Structure 1
Amino acid sequence: MNNLYAQPIMPMHDQVEVQLEPTYLECLSLVERLHRRLLDVIKDEFERLGWHEVNAVQALLLHNIGDSELTAGELKSRGYYLGSNVSYNLKKLVDKQFVEHKRSTEDKRSVRIKLTLKGQEIRETLDELFARQIAQIEQVGDLSLGEMSIFVNSLRKLERFWADQIRFRL
């Protein structure tokens, strides 16, 4: 006999998708929010120090350049930034003398960049900020090394998944 109240059985694949959707969407939201929070933390640190010459995005760019001498294209290919964002911020940082640039001797179209002493001071300030956070993260943030390792591994998988979406047009 047919039961009018029986729920249709959803295929297992659809059940997994229904369960995964809210978690995936929350993950997207958290990744975006974490990036904004990081920029807020950097901005707050610079305000405490009375530094107003660079914004948080530019400071993070200086930190990611580090001790390297490289091109804007290399920064983009490492996955740190989009093209227009890099060009705009590098121009500002060169104008404010945080970064120096020079034409490559091998390829005149290529411009190599590196931090000036002023840029290195910003990078060192971020190094100190991050060191303070590392010293506090287990006790204050309630995050163990094991949890952080799992988190990093999961983010790498997500990054690879998104890169494959672009590369293979999935």
Structure 2
Amino acid sequence: MNEKLLYPSADFEDTALLRDVSHAVQSSPSRPDRDEVGDGRPITYFELARLMERASRRFSGLVRAELTKLGVDDIGAAQAMVLLAIGDAELSVAELLDRGHYVGSNVSYYLKQLADGDYIDRVASQRDKRSARIKLSEKGRRLRADLRDAAMAYERTLSRGDQDRRNLETAFQTLHQLELVWGSASRYGI
């Protein structure tokens, strides 16, 4: 693990979570052709972060294409991702912010577009009229179901067996641990 690239002055030997991430990455099956970035440089966590950002952009493009196939033209991929983040829950804006990587002003804009398109219902709090709870409307639940069906079709294409499933689980665990480490480091330092 090349933590020094991200945090050059930190002492990582005392951080249990970073050791867990390192162990997860080192114990995962690796193939020699994946140990380097395309130009011969070793894979680092910085390179992984760049790959995640590119993959996120590609996924947004995929969501936009699915919205087009479904005939949805009043919201974009970012708003569709908010619908997926809300799911079956009824939650506050603060809870929604915790579920995604939104800036507060962006999520307000997304929620306004979703409310204008009748994809969500906003219920004002009885205690505090300034705050509201958000849940999917029937239209939002239908779109969410359609997007999940499309995602399952792509997952069937990508997942060809038990090894692919294990690789997906390992990738998820590693990325989740990185999210925790980087989130803690940005809030509290190391």
TM-score (norm 2): 0.73
Deviation track 1:105-151 (CA, whole Å, cap 9, x = no partner) reads 133221111111111121011110111122221239xx701111110
Shift of 1:33: 0.6
> Corresponding residue for 1:154?
174
- 8 A contact 1:63–1:122 mirrored in 2: no
Shift of 1:87: 0.8
> Corresponding residue for 2:49?
28
1:93 is the counterpart of 2:114: yes
CA distance in 1, matches of 2:62, 2:173: 24
Deviation track 1:31-51 (CA, whole Å, cap 9, x = no partner) reads 101111111111111222332
- Cα 1:29–1:106 shift into 2, 3 Å: same
- Cα 1:16–1:132 shift into 2, 3 Å: closer
- 8 A contact 2:123–2:134 mirrored in 1: yes
Q: How does 1:1-170 map to 2 (within 5 A)?
A: 22-139=43-160, 144-170=164-190
Larger radius of gyration: 1
**Alignment RMSD, CA only?**
2.6
Unpaired segments ≥5 residues, structure 2:
6-35
CA distance in 1, matches of 2:53, 2:130: 35
- Tell me, what secondary structure is at the counterpart of 1:85? helix
- What is the number of equivalent residue pairs in this alignment? 155
Shift of 1:79: 4.1
Q: Which amino acid letter does the alignment assign opposite residue 87 of structure 2?
A: G
CA distance in 1, matches of 2:121, 2:86: 12
Shift of 1:159: 0.3
Q: Which amino acid letter does the alignment assign opposite residue 45 of structure 1?
A: E
TM-score (norm 1): 0.81
